[in-house]
């Protein structure tokens, strides 16, 4: 089973990202679940969402404390919270950032593992017209992990967004092209 923790801010689509990951995985015949973790926070407050994907039925419903993958939608979050906390040693951190690998590693502190970076905010503004990075970051997730087929994610986007899916699919594909992956140091 693969466990994913998504970090974002209210209104950025972290919960939608988790749901799209689960739908795409289910469309491939896998088992999946998605759920949010937030209280009375409002738009802009830090939130987390979670997704699990497995080849067998998933029975656990608890929060994910030791994810295989973290997906960070907002570039400011690593400066205010330890987004890599609990990330498995062989896991991967996928971040929205315009900074270099060296600059991001400095912000992350002691994290030495695999890293994937994409300027999702820029892509989202150029392709979708708003700085909502969730579907762009899903492209980075697909490139960095190969966890889900691109076609499956495109279908999930079409199911969720209808006529608006095309712009989101373009953002997804840009992230597939532009995401840079770095091995651990």
pLDDT along the chain (185 residues), means of 10: 95 92 97 82 81 95 94 96 95 98 95 96 96 96 97 97 94 98 90
Alpha-carbon radius of gyration of the chain: 15
Task: Give the burial class of 91: count Cβ atoms within 10 A of its Cβ; 0-12 exposed, 13-18 middle, 19 or more buried.
Answer: buried
Query: pTM for this structure?
Result: 0.94
Helix pair angle (134-145, 14-27), 10° resolution: 50
Is 136 within 8 Å of 171 (Cβ atoms)? yes
Q: Where do the domains of the chain lie, and which CATH numbers do they carry?
A: 2-182 (3.40.920.10)
- In eight-state DSSP terms, residue 164 is G
């Amino acid at each position: 089973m693969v466990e994913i923790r998504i970090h974002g801010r209210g209104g950025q689509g972290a919960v939608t990202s988790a749901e799209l990951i689960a739908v795409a995985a289910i469309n491939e015949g896998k088992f999946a679940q998605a759920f949010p973790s937030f209280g009375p926070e409002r738009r802009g407050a830090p939130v987390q969402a979670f997704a699990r994907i497995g080849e067998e039925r998933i029975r656990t419903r608890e929060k994910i404390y030791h994810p295989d993958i973290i997906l960070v939608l907002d570039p400011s979050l690593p400066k205010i919270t330890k987004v890599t906390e609990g990330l498995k040693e062989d896991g991967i951190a996928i971040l929205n950032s315009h900074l270099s690998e060296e600059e991001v590693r400095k912000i992350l502190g002691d994290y030495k593992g695999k890293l994937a970076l994409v300027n999702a905010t820029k892509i989202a503004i150029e392709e979708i017209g708003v700085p909502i990075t969730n579907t762009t970051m899903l492209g980075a997730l697909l490139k960095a992990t190969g966890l889900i087929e691109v076609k499956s994610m495109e279908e999930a986007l079409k199911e969720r967004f209808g006529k608006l899916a095309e712009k989101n699919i373009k953002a997804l594909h840009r992230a597939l092209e532009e995401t840079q992956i770095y091995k651990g140091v």
